[in-house]
Amino acid sequence: MGGVTSTVAARFAFFPPTPPSYAVIRDQITGRLVLSDVLNRDHVDVVSMKTKRGQDIVGIYVHHSAARLTLLYSHGNAADLGQMYELLVELSVHLRVNVMGYDYSGYGASSGKPSEANTYADVEAAYQCLERDYGVRQEDVVLYGQSVGSGPTVDLAARLPKVRGVVLHSPILSGLRVMYPVKRTYWFDIYKNIEKIRRVNCPVLVIHGTSDEVVDCSHGKQLWDLCKEKYEPLWLKGGGHCNLELYPEYIRHLRKFIMSLEKSGGPRNGGGIERTRSY
């Protein structure tokens, strides 16, 4: 029974678009890496990153000249960077932040196969790229996780003691809880946000639609209740799972959160990533 349930949970979690919505190509004029089938911008870098599990994952880094913070965005289930490109550019413009987005192993043009362990290594590789290649300090990073992306986001936030803030967009309590109303956490469950959120020490904004047909709004509300440092949540009345960006309140509230982080300092103690897991 446990093995069957674990397989069902894993299948729920990973639905990479097939075929991918883009390929990585080299521009013959500039020599830069770009994504096919999107309107590439000069201020957007396409990067390739090696994870500690040996995968080569694709990311994009959106520069904003006035940015004080950098958003590290972990996207939802059935999406890849080709589909997310315009949204990430728009978030950079409206929030006045740099944005790093990346594709999980097995998504888009990233190598390998999607798995819970791979996504943890993927988000860590993206974060380390920010530090190494763009000089971004941990205290200037805001982690953003949408749906399944809340898993790698919460995991990394629990191990980054100085990260500035976290946004959880239609988050899950855990993979198994999306499908079954279980009251306890089983060993074979995936993305145990319900347990890890207690180790996140920075301000957390939760955004969830009240009519979410995939992940019930109760997931977001319970995670918010468990946060140490709660920021005013946004419960979008009538909002579903994939349309929250269409609500004017979404960008207004997100901008308000970013501005509050810009005015504040980061969490008070700690250093680099806590090495609590072998991937």
* Residue of 64, 169, 208, 241 marked catalytic: 241
166: how many CB neighbours lie within 10 A of its CB? 30
Mean pLDDT of 144-154: 97
| pLDDT over 70, % of the chain | 90
Structure tokens at 6: 């674990």
Mean pLDDT across the chain: 92
pLDDT for 185: 86
pLDDT for 276: 42
Q: Following DSSP, what letter does each residue of 202-219 receive, concatenated?
A: SEEEEEEETT-SSS-HHH
Is 27 among the catalytic positions?
no
Dihedral of the alpha carbons of 113, 117, 123, 126, in degrees to the nearest 10? -60
- 18-53 tens-digit pLDDT: 999 999 999 999 999 999 999 999 999 999 999 999
Is 174 among the catalytic positions?
no
Instruction: Please tell me the distance from the alpha carbon of residue 21 to that of residue 36, in angstroms, as a whole number.
Output: 8
Whole-angstrom CA distances from 57 to 8, 89, 103 are: 25, 19, 6
pLDDT for 272: 56
* Residue of 80, 212, 219, 253 marked catalytic: 212
pLDDT at 271 exceeding the cut of 80 = no
Q: Which fold has domain 2-263?
A: Rossmann fold (3.40.50)
Whole-angstrom CA distances from 170 to 71, 140, 263, 278 are: 17, 23, 26, 28
Confidence category of residue 2, pLDDT binned at 50, 70, 90 = very low
pLDDT at 203 exceeding the cut of 90 = yes
pLDDT at 76 exceeding the cut of 60 = yes
Instruction: Please tell me the distance from the alpha carbon of residue 245 to that of residue 38, in angstroms, as a whole number.
Output: 20
Mapped onto helix, strand or coil, the DSSP state of residue 253 is helix
- 124-146 tens-digit pLDDT: 999 999 999 999 999 999 999 99
Confidence category of residue 75, pLDDT binned at 50, 70, 90 = very high
pLDDT for 63: 98
Is 64 among the catalytic positions?
no
Residue type, 178: V
* Residue 74 DSSP one-character state: E
pLDDT at 264 exceeding the cut of 90 = no
* Residue of 110, 147, 170, 174 marked catalytic: 147
Global pTM value:
0.92
Residue 141 half-sphere exposure toward CB, CA atoms < 13 A:
29
